[in-house]
Structure formats: structure tokens, C-alpha cells
Amino acid sequence: MKIGCPKEIKPQEFRVGMTPDAVREATGHGHQVFVETRAGAGAGFSDDDYVAAGAKILGTAEEVFETAEMIVKVKEPQAVERKRLREGQVLFTYLHLAPDPEQTRDLLDSGVTAIAYETVTDDRGGLPLLAPMSEVAGRLAPQVGAWTLQKANGGRGVLLGGVPGVAPAKVLVIGGGVVGTHAAKVAAGMGADVTVIDRSINRLRYLDDVFGRDFKNAYASAGNTIALAREADMIIGAVLIPGAAAPKLISRAQLAELKPGAALVDVAIDQGGCFETSRATTHQDPVYEVDGIMHYCVANMPGAVARTSTLALGNATMPFMLALADKGWKRACAEDKHLLAGLNTHRGKLTYAAVGAALGLPTIAAADALQL
């Protein structure tokens, strides 16, 4: 198979879809890999690194898209990239279609076979290609939240860990999954007073058993959520409904009940955000204020630590990428129900029910798409 890896063009996105190790694996399986020049520069990989691994360097993204049978990326294709996609081509990347009707329509119009990292599953009910970036974003959230809390950045002027004689900041983490757990661990490690809330009693039991001495937990009823939010200096939104738009858990009206200058860090912004007042921002301009409350809503948080993120993502995606290349997408998906769960569009058909429900579009079963 001819595999293409273009340079990411989303603002302040420094990750790359394939590492030189992934190229070496793919070429070792007999495939050809075409990498856009300087695609890996932001993550610390040179063109020479890719050439040494067996890739051919192409001068433009247009050449990569035109040549490749499968495109491997990190972020959802931007408008100019979507125009380059075609029927019969496979796109393997993060998509986050539920809050993005424009991208969804463009992918359907292109006819491309789009497989989303974030909806590939595993035997334990997890999301193995979302997990590494969730780990990175979770660990970053307290860091960027601590920066947002600084007075010069519009925050309350509160030090996360406090000092002797001064209490630490209170951090509320909404959602006890991968993002929430990693956020809570780091926030607690920074000395904050941390509470994690979730609606799964089994998850709360796990958090209590493993981290009971590090941070507190509570059930995420509407009443508990706002009561704890009123006391918090920082609120980290870490909720996920796989493939679907994130629920809005704090309304604009409720901002008036929060501490002035409190920091909201919305890690769920890729799926539309879990605060009513959330809107996507960039690393270049990451924060904004609404009703005295600071919002950090960068849609590609892991891009800030591009090398770590690229290596972690490459480790997770490599087996699936190789299966798609070795077997072709139809056979790979037919033989692996978890990879099939990643199929979002094929030949103009939407194949992921949660996206259809979010956007009011008709869908077909992913298994039925194998017959098209």
C-alpha cells in the first residue's frame, strides 16, 4: 500500500501522524511511505530520519494526498485538506465529527473511507487510540490551569499548592476516566486539594481504592457538581461520551455562582466542550474570559508537547495502521470489530450512530458499509 503522511496544518499543531519507527515498520511489511517535507520537524524528526527509515520525501501536501492510498494524520483534516480526499482513499486520524457538521459533510461528499482514532475500541470497552492523548491532556490540564490561575493571565492569583500557612487551591475534576484520573494525579502531586466526580459508582470505588489518600471523590449529581464548583479555584472538564457531543455540565447562568477568576479547563472541547460557554481556542491564544471566569479551551492540548504525544500516539496506532495496510481496510475491519468501530464514513455514508444523532443525519451500520 502507498501510505501518506502530510504535515499537520492546524494552528500550533506540532505532532505528526507517523514516526520514523512507524515508517520502518510499514516499509518492512513491503509498503511505500510518502512523507511531506518537514512533517516531523515540530516533533523533533528530520527528513533524514524518515529517509533512513525507508520513506520518500515529497515537497508538498498535494503530492502526498495525490499519491497515497491511505493518509495517516493526527488532527481532523482542515478544509483545504478535505478537498484533496477522494473515494477509494482511506483516512486514518482523529476526526471528532459530532460537533463538526462542516467537516462531516465534506468527508461524506468526498467519498473517503474515514476511520477515526477516537472511536476504535478494545476488549475492555476502552478507546486505545484516544487513551494516550487523553493521558497527555489530563496531565497537562493542571499545568495549564495553574498558568491560567495566575493574576497576570486573568485568574484568581492562587498558587495551586499553596504555601505554609496558606491553603492550596481547590481543584474539581468532572469525570473520572483516563483524562480525569491523570489530571487528578498531577493536580494532587502539585499540592492542590482535589476532588474527582463521576456518575459511575464502580469507577468511584476504583479511584477510592487506588488513590484514596491522594484525592477525594464524589458522585456527579447536578447538585454535587454545582456545590463543588462554587468552592473550586479550578474546574477541569474531563467527560466523554464516545463519538458523541459532550454534555454541558455548567451553564452560563451558573458562572455567576463560581469564584471570580476561577479557571475552567475544558479537555472535552474536541467533542464540543462540557461547559456551555466553551469555544475552541489555540495555543497561540489559549484563554478568554466570560462573566469573570477564565476559560482554557485549546482543542489540541497534546500538541504543546509534540514529541511525547507523537511517540505515545505512534505506539498505539501502529498495529492498526499495519493491519489496514497489510490486509486492506475492508478485510482488516471485517476481522477486527474494534477497528470496525472506528469507521465513521465510507462512500458518502455516515457509519457512526452517535455522530448521526448529534448532527441529525442518517447512518448505516458500519458492518453494512463493508458490502458497499
Residue 115 among known ligand-binding residues: no
Binding residue per annotation — 300? yes
**38 is annotated as contributing to ligand binding:** no
Spatial separation of the C-alpha atoms in residues 313 and 131, rounded to whole Å: 9
Q: Check whether 198 is labelled as a binding-site residue.
A: yes
Write down the number of H helices and E strands in the chain: 14, 15
SS3 7: coil
Element (H, E) at 190: none
156 is an annotated ligand-binding site residue: no
Decide if 341 contacts 120 (C-beta within 8 A): yes
Say whether 163 counts as a known binding-site residue: no
**Residue 318 known to bind ligand:** no
Residues 6+ apart with CB under 8 A from 71: 4, 5, 6, 64, 65, 77, 85, 89, 90, 91, 92, 93
Do the annotations mark residue 301 as ligand-binding? yes
CB of 164 closer than 8 Å to CB of 217: no
| Inter-residue contact 84 to 30 (CB < 8 Å) | no
> What are the C-alpha distances in Å from 240 to residues 14, 143, 341?
24, 21, 16
What is the DSSP secondary structure assignment for residue 158, as one 8-state letter?
Answer: -
Distances (CA, A) of 195 to 211, 219, 285: 11, 10, 28
- Ordered alpha helix ranges (H), 219-293: 222-231
Rounded CA separation 270/96 (Å): 6
Is 153 annotated in some ligand binding site?
Answer: no
- Answer yes or no: is 221 a known binding residue: no
Q: Is 239 annotated as a binding residue?
A: yes
64 is an annotated ligand-binding site residue: no
270 is in an annotated binding site: yes
Q: Would the CA dihedral through 31, 35, 41, 43 be positive or negative?
A: negative
Instruction: Please give the backbone phi and psi of residue 286, each rounded to the nearest 5 degrees, phi first.
Output: -80, -25
Nearest to 370 by CA among 328, 323, 322: 328
250: DSSP letter:
B
Active-site residues, by number, are: 96, 270
Cite the annotated binding site for substrate by residue number.
15, 75
Q: Which residues are annotated as a binding site for NAD(+)?
A: 134, 198, 203, 239-240, 267-270, 279, 298-301
